[in-house]
Chain A
Amino acid sequence: MLRYFLKRLLEVIPILLIVSILIFLFVHMIPGDPARLVAGEDASELDVQLVREELGLDKPLYEQYFTYISNLAQGDLGISMKTKRPVLNEIADRFVPTFTLTLSSMTWALIFGLFIGVVSATNRNKWQDYVGMFGAVSGISLPSFWLGLLLIQIFSVKFGWFPTGGYDSWKSYVLPSLTLGAGVAAVIARFTRSSLMEIMKEDYIRTGRAKGLCERIVVWKHAIKNAMIPVVTMVGLQFGFLLGGSIVVETVFSWPGMGRLMIDSVAFRDYPVIQAEMLLFALQFIIINLIVDMLYAVMNPQIRYK
């Protein structure tokens, strides 16, 4: 498996190269002159021209691409047009808050989602199922924007237990991670429930039951393992999306993460930052996919790698 892992990791390089070209073209195709946006609307033509030269935007596109790629090859992501800081610092500052928020949200979501899913599936059409699924449907349907503001009103303004936002102590994680995790937990619960119910219809489960295994063993030892495969795929995807930064939650809770950086950099046509973020985003998905594939093998040894 290690060889497979390394092989897949090497495959990442050409993919990233292609992605980088696409990103470059795509970013330069968005309408809007970064020099004008960076200089500001009340800037005079002279100021805009100076900014354009400063940013190297007066050079032909192929030259800009060449600079971009050769810098990239040396691990240099460029300088942010807007803040004039190295893009690497800009992103590094924002990655950690998003990563930790994603981890904490995912932890909540996995615990609640799996628990509710399994309970619902094993108590099909009983009150536990109805309560669980009611919760899950609510979790999916509540806009995180609204949920976030509601939590702030209740737990910050009314009770004063948690801060309204920011990125300070463990306390500041509670509300945003709950908000972000709610939707994911709901999706996990529903996926787990339907997948588990599907598996419970399989022949080998009936065989197990016929052999007189107790229900607990049937569910936990034989059914869940297989039921988890689609769930893991879905969790991987969700993880990837959350790592891209949840713009809404980061905005509501003033979280200094990737989502807000992305919005800001797109609004300013901050090419180097957009490019680097998209590249990172692609890389994250590739790695998560890889991890998901590995997990498959752990869960079902019948899935093999060559």
Chain B
Amino acid sequence: MFRKSLILVLAVLMIASGILTGCSGSETKDTASEVQSGQTEAVKKEDNTITIAVKDNLISMDPHDTNDTLSYSVQKTMMQGLVGFDKDMKVIPVLAESYEGSDDAKVFTFKLRQGVLFHDGTPFNAEAVKVNIDRLANPENKLKRHSLFALVEKTEVLDEYTVQVTLKEPFGAMINNFAHPAAMMHSPKALEKYGKEVGRHPVGTGPFKFVEWVPGDHFTVEKNPDYWKPGYPKIDGITFKPVPENGSRVAMLQTGEADYIYPVPAEQIEAIDGKNGIIVEHDPSIIVRDMTMNTMKKPYDDIRVRKAINYAINKEAYIKVVYNGYADVMDSIIAPNTQFYSKQTPYPYDIEKAKQLLKEAGYENGFETNLWGNNNSDTIKAMEFLQQQLAQIGIKVNVVPMESGTRAEKIWSVQKPEDAEVELYYGGWSPSTGDADWGIRPLLGGDSFPPKSYNTAYYKNEEVDKLIKAGLKTADYEKRKEAYEKVQKILWDEAPWAFLCVNQTIAGRKAYLEGVYLLPDGSLSVDDAEIKQ
């Protein structure tokens, strides 16, 4: 009897799994799954659609309520804003033909492109812009990107293709906020129809239209035949696939299951570049890596200690160890591709000088301290490197990797700066508006202490705060430039951080795929994607 039941159980299991497998294996036809073996001959592309493998899952398709760069990258295939960023993070017109800001940086007027349609046929006009900006500006909607537009007092329709936004107070970096992907436009009809669910039903004016989204598995868009820019897009569709494991993502590019992948881990570049028709591209990003020092706490309240730490770290070695050489030494508190960047002179690697400074500050025998950071392997590697470097001048660093929630709790639950436990903190920052303001104010502004923002150095300097305000009060390019140049100089000399590096973005593509690239903020641009073979 048992044998029979065993056979029965096995049979049922097999049939069940067979049926279920059969059911699930449908829809997505992947031409690339007829895999090419690992030969070096030029690889051909069968059809005109591409697959892009990315690291994380997508979260939302509502740009107003998004804060991860990856979701933005995918949204940008379907949706557009009044202005946007070009390859070097310079602001360019997109759905607006032109724009101007008043001298006091309070009133911004946009002339809109005519004859543009949303994917659902709704015309794009001043009214549509007003609906979107109003949605963002209204705190009642509880959108994650409300703060970028919290200053908006009113949005007025001047005529069908002219719209004017008035702010409550001057804000010189406003045009960059408009260029931020958060300001991309939903179809007003879609907003009305889907309400809060609009994050699942993106309807924009972009080159591609939404097809389907299977969370955790894939996201597909297809060509928008009515796209306003003649001759674009040049491919028929894109499938995005979240592939968290680095090795698997690289394998997908090798087999041709993916045509473009990012990020490519630095240690794998050599193994794949130039083989199987793969090209690896790396470019400077605007992501800076630093170690903040709590300037309210001893011994970091002493500028000599902070400088000593900067002198004690060999940045070239750091870049080799942590990023396999794919990063650049930081030479200002913001990266070169950030607006108003002004170059400073990096602190050279000088152990003797570091020791001398420590001695002057009264720490001849060093001290013991805690370094906090993320618990991913790159961060731990970096923190251990810093531990080793600082040991050379007698500073004993305890590396404390923390899981994201714990770390957030430790940093943002602190209400009074005196209670902050943080001493050294290893982190990074990417100013998503591409403007100096967003690269400085949240990190080093006197009113940006946690929990308000990200000033884990608890750094406060009246002169700096004055200059930050001056940079915001006006839309005048030269005035802003002057203010930010001064700020960068002061901050560099004051060294509230150990300045480490500017990351590079690293992506891999098949040679036949052109026009897909990463912006310095790590977001993807596919507008010019083209298959050439």
Contact = CB atoms under 8 A, between A and B. Distances in A.
B241 A166 contact: yes
A282 interface: no
B215 interface: yes
B406 A31 contact: yes
Interface in A255-281: 256-257, 260-261, 264, 266-267, 269
Given A160-B36, A163-B257, A260-B244, 15 more contacts: A38-B144, A42-B430, A42-B454, A43-B144, A45-B451, A47-B146, A50-B143, A53-B142, A107-B14, A157-B254, A157-B255, A160-B37, A164-B248, A166-B217, A252-B245
Contacts of A257: 216
A6 B65 CA distance: 47
Given A45-B451, A160-B255, A82 B248 contact: no
B2 A224 contact: yes
B150 interface: yes
Interface of A: 30-33, 36-48, 50-51, 53-54, 82-85, 90, 93-94, 96-97, 99-100, 103-104, 106-107, 110-111, 149, 152-153, 156-161, 163-173, 220-221, 224-225, 228, 251-254, 256-257, 260-261, 264, 266-267, 269, 298-299
What range describes how many residues of B lie at the interface? 35 or more
B466 interface: no
A103 B24 contact: no
Nearest to B16: A103
A43 B410 CA distance: 17
A176 to B, nearest CB: 11
A84 B254 contact: no
A33 B214 contact: no
Interface in B8-40: 10, 13-14, 16-17, 20-22, 24-25, 28, 30, 33, 35-38
Given A84-B199, A164-B251, A103 B147 contact: no
Contact of A37 (B17, B22, B143, B408): B408
B96 to A, nearest CB: 25
Contacts of A225: 2
6 contacts: A39-B144, A40-B68, A41-B408, A84-B196, A103-B13, A167-B24
A160 to B, nearest CB: 3
A31 B139 CA distance: 28
B216 A31 contact: no
A111 B516 CA distance: 47
B67 A43 contact: yes
A22 B146 CA distance: 36
Interface of B: 2-3, 5-6, 10, 13-14, 16-17, 20-22, 24-25, 28, 30, 33, 35-38, 57, 59-60, 65, 67-68, 139, 142-147, 150, 196, 199-200, 214-218, 241-245, 247-248, 251-252, 254-255, 257, 403-406, 408-410, 412-413, 429-430, 432, 442, 451-454
Contact of B17 (A100, A228, A299): A100
Contacts of A163: 30, 33, 35, 255, 257
A32 B429 contact: no
